[in-house]
């Protein structure tokens, strides 16, 4: 371990890694200056991580020198603490090879099926190289916009807030990793290069009361070639809504609906009516796949906000 990383005892790390037989991902909590948030996140993770600790070794990566954050991280024997005091990339040498790195913000809590979710997703990522990262977060994941905890979506917008990527992708990105705002940095086309992301309908960062047995689920529909056909089919079956008062019209229709927008201002106007995120980044609305943003309103009805080129991108001729 290079000198820029303090408080990381190489021998201790060696012993921790020696105990790991079949790792799925290194769990990295990124922290800076909020010791209280860090403690809440650590406790939430340890509640479900202890049973699978050999698969998910836990690390706290601290940026800066806040003494309370350092003290809090070092008070837990179940994790390894790393402290970064300059902007140079951290170099580590570890025995064995972890399949993926999983990163968590220090103000998060996790759902009971959190680790099962990522283990199932890791197998998917190994098969489909067009998936850049898997996230446990949905920007439009508030309870009034979701219904089915077993549904996952592909997205062209990096969700952030609890995510996993493969070691090969990390090796590609880490030399140019930014000092700050890395979530927005990952949303730039020049960095994700057209690769996509997996996100849940119901966030796996909070306990909404239902544990999904992810290992028993068939996630093959999320493979790129299958998903575009799957998504196009459910979109075609949604009833189109035109004109003003989209919210009122959607509420009076049985089944799924779709609302077409002309451009970014038009999307923002419609999204504002429903109360979902209006933000775009590098030409992509939050949560969008092929320009389509999907949410429930009211549940279980799905609402699709459809871009001007979405049908073309999805191979939909006419409906």
Active site residue ranges: 183
The label of the residue with tokens 């790393």 reads 82
Collapsing DSSP to helix, strand or coil, 97 comes out as: coil
CA-based Rg of the chain, rounded to a whole angstrom?
21
CB–CB of 131/161 below 8 Å?
no
Ramachandran region, residue 155 (left: φ > 0; alpha: ψ -120 to 50; beta: rest): beta
Ramachandran region, residue 222 (left: φ > 0; alpha: ψ -120 to 50; beta: rest): alpha
**Which DSSP state fits 52?**
G
Ramachandran region, residue 88 (left: φ > 0; alpha: ψ -120 to 50; beta: rest): beta
Rounded distance, CA 197 to CA 128, Å? 11
Residue 28, beta-bridge partner list:
59, 103
Rounded to the nearest 10 degrees, the angle between the axes of helix 35-49 and helix 114-127 is: 80
Rounded distance, CA 246 to CA 227, Å? 27
């Amino acid at each position: 371990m290079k000198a820029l990383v303090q408080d990381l005892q190489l021998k201790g790390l060696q012993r921790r890694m020696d105990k790991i037989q079949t790792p799925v991902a290194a769990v990295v909590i990124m922290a800076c200056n909020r010791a209280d948030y860090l403690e809440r996140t650590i406790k939430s993770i340890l509640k479900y991580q202890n049973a699978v600790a050999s698969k998910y070794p836990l690390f706290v990566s601290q940026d800066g020198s806040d003494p309370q954050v350092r003290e809090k991280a070092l008070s837990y024997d179940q994790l390894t603490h790393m402290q970064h005091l300059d902007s140079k990339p951290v170099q580590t040498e570890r025995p064995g090879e972890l399949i993926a790195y999983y990163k968590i913000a220090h103000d998060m809590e996790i759902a009971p099926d959190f680790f099962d979710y990522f283990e199932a997703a890791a197998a998917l990522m190994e098969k489909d190289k067009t998936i850049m990262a898997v996230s446990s977060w949905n920007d439009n994941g508030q309870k009034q916009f979701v219904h089915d905890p077993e549904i996952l979506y592909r997205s062209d917008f990096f969700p952030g807030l609890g995510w996993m990527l493969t070691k090969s992708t990390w090796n590609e990105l880490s030399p140019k990793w930014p000092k700050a705002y890395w979530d927005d940095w990952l949303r730039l086309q020049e960095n994700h290069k057209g690769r996509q992301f997996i996100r849940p309908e119901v966030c796996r960062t909070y306990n909404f009361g239902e544990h999904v047995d992810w290992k028993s689920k068939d996630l093959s529909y999320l493979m790129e070639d299958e998903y575009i056909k799957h998504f196009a089919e459910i979109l075609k079956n949604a009833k189109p809504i035109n004109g003003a008062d989209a919210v009122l019209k959607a509420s009076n229709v049985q089944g799924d609906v779709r609302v077409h927008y002309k451009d970014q201002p038009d999307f923002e106007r419609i999204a504002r009516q429903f109360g979902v995120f209006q933000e775009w980044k590098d030409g992509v609305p939050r949560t969008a796949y092929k320009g389509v943003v999907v949410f429930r309103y009211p549940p279980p009805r799905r609402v699709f906000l459809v871009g001007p080129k979405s049908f073309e991108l999805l191979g939909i001729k006419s409906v």
